Amino acid sequence: MVQEGPREPLAYYFRDLLLVREPRATRLYLVRHAQSEGNAGADWQPDPPLTELGREQARLVGERLARQGIDAIFSSPLRRALQTARPLAEATGLSITVIDDLREIDVGLVEKDAVRVAQEKREAIHRRLAENPSWDAFPGSEGSGPFRARITTAIDSIVRQCPGQRVVVVTHGGVIQTYVSVILGLKGDVYFYPFNAGITSIRALDNRRVLWRLNDIAHLDTGQEGKSLVT
């Protein structure tokens, strides 16, 4: 008589690999900050605040994550991230732990003075990005290697501090793009657009990292008066 196999092969074979129902795994919710004045097209400034729309996005993502039973909140030190984290902290009664290494990548003068960057330099950057979507394409940037090391070390430290917990990390688009590339083993850094106030969920145990959800914005589909708040 042939022994009956598992009825749900994916759950049976991949349970350990994908950290399904693994109580020791840390559940990381990486949140890109809500819309800032910089995202809305304002003149460059080093640490822009959220827009009115961004504050509403922050409220909505905070309400959604508060229902997840969050144990800890970490944030980049930049104002747009802290302002995004604040509604969640208020809803849960948790404090916000600031980690400097969760700040956005420094891409050098290109970001600060994009209008006056010479046309030939802009075209060269476009060509380099097309060949390899890496932060190394930007002259004077922090660089892909150092940036990867910085954010990986920061997030690994959070995982060690919070075994088996549900943890929100409010940070930046570049951080989330690059960290996803790292855990998927991708050479480049930029393969998707992280929406403002979007959630990327990762499970972590020891040296394993599993991507569970990418760029989730369901909480932004209908804001006030039924309007989408996706930016």
What is the set of active-site residues?
A: 33, 104
Q: Tokens for 199?
A: 């959630």
Report d(CA 195, CA 124) in Å as an integer: 27
Determine the Cα–Cα distance for residues 154 and 163; give it in Å rounded to an integer. Answer: 15
CB 94 within 8 A of CB 72: yes
Residue carrying structure tokens 């074979």: 13
Half-sphere exposure of 133 (CA within 13 A, CB side): 11
- Identify the helix (H) or strand (E) that includes residue 209: strand 208-216
**Distance (Å, whole) CA 64 – CA 147:** 30
Distance between CA atoms of residues 89 and 190, nearest Å? 30
Residue found by looking up tokens 């932060």 in the block: 135
